């Protein structure tokens, strides 16, 4: 029986963890959702909140192909910050400024020894859902605001929204946001992972934008997640947001070889 070896690195960005594979010369399992699910499985695989392939790009330093643990594709804010660190390690991106493409187009990034800032796309529309907001920041996010974060199991209270008819068929990420001493704090249920994650970069970005409108907070906004602190910078004109940057840590945890 033929067995294949896959070399990988494991990174985490404020507790959001990812498998990163150098796919510049092919051979990665992007055409096999079952292998992606296996790699991301925390009991029978490496375990992660997503799989990232680093591929060549004609218009940037590299292309980031992101897969959720269920094999679906999307843009990932924390994953892109980890991808930048990995690309610097591979020697294909500058340790200071670089660019990359993803499913939603071109992004810029600034890296340092301590953190990575990734430029997100402009947000020109914030939709009201009763007292809640819907914002698309590379991935779709439903935002629920309160004075305190819920203490309940997020799977139980978020799934009815994630699978609601309003968001059929693609579903939505569900975020709970509350003000805190130096900014906001939040919890996120991620589609594709189908569980609460310690952090979500596109969710943090959406939460900061929503909080600028809901709580009249100014840039930059500090965002506290279960996995750590991030910061969102932006320019606000009315309800339009430009020059949006997501900033936070990105750390290599370990490297290894997985045998399929």
- Catalytic (active-site) positions: 76, 200
pLDDT score of 2: 58
Domain with CATH 3.10.310.10 in the chain: 5-119+250-259, 127-248
Task: Give the orientation angle of helix 77-90 with respect to helix 201-214, to 10 degrees.
Answer: 130
Contact 102, 230 (CB under 8 A): no
The CATH code of the domain at 5-119+250-259 is 3.10.310.10
Tell me how far apart the alpha carbons of residues 12 and 14 are, in angstroms, rounded to a whole number: 6
- Specify whether domain 127-248 bears CATH 3.40.50.1980: no
Using DSSP bridges, classify how beta strands 97-102 and 5-13 pair: parallel, antiparallel or unpaired.
Answer: unpaired
Which residues make beta-bridge pairs with 235? Answer: 242
Average pLDDT of the residues in 31-49: 93
Tell me how far apart the alpha carbons of residues 74 and 27 are, in angstroms, rounded to a whole number: 21
> Tell me: the pLDDT tens digits for 120-138?
999 999 999 999 999 999 9
Average pLDDT of the residues in 169-189: 97
pLDDT band at 32 (very low <50, low <70, confident <90, very high): confident
Q: Is 91 exposed, middle or buried (0-12, 13-18, 19+ CB in 10 A)?
A: exposed
pLDDT score of 85: 97
pLDDT score of 1: 47
pLDDT band at 31 (very low <50, low <70, confident <90, very high): confident
* 3 state SS of 116: strand
pLDDT score of 108: 98
């Amino acid at each position: 029986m033929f067995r294949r070896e896959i070399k990988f690195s494991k990174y985490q960005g404020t507790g959001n963890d990812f498998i990163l594979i150098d796919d510049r010369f092919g051979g990665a399992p992007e055409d096999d959702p079952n292998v992606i699910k296996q790699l991301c499985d925390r009991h029978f695989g490496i375990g992660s909140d997503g799989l990232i392939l680093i591929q060549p790009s004609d218009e940037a330093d590299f292309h980031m192909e992101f897969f959720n643990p269920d094999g679906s594709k999307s843009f990932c804010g924390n994953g892109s910050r980890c991808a930048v660190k990995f690309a610097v390690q591979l020697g294909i991106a500058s340790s200071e400024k670089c660019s990359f493409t993803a499913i939603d187009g071109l992004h810029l990034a600034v890296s340092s020894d301590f953190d990575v800032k990734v430029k997100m796309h402009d947000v020109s529309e914030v939709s009201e859902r009763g007292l809640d907001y819907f914002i698309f920041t590379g991935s779709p996010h439903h935002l629920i605001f309160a004075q305190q974060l819920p203490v309940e199991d997020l799977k139980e209270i978020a799934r009815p929204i994630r699978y609601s008819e309003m968001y059929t068929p693609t579903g939505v990420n569900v975020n709970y946001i509350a003000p805190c001493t130096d900014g906001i704090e939040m919890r996120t249920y991620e589609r594709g992972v189908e569980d609460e994650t310690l952090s979500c970069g596109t969710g943090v970005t959406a939460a900061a934008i929503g909080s600028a409108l809901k709580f009249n907070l100014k840039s930059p906004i500090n965002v506290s997640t279960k996995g750590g602190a991030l910061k969102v910078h932006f320019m606000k004109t009315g309800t339009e947001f430009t020059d949006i940057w997501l900033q936070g840590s990105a750390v290599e945890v370990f490297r290894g070889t997985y045998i399929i």
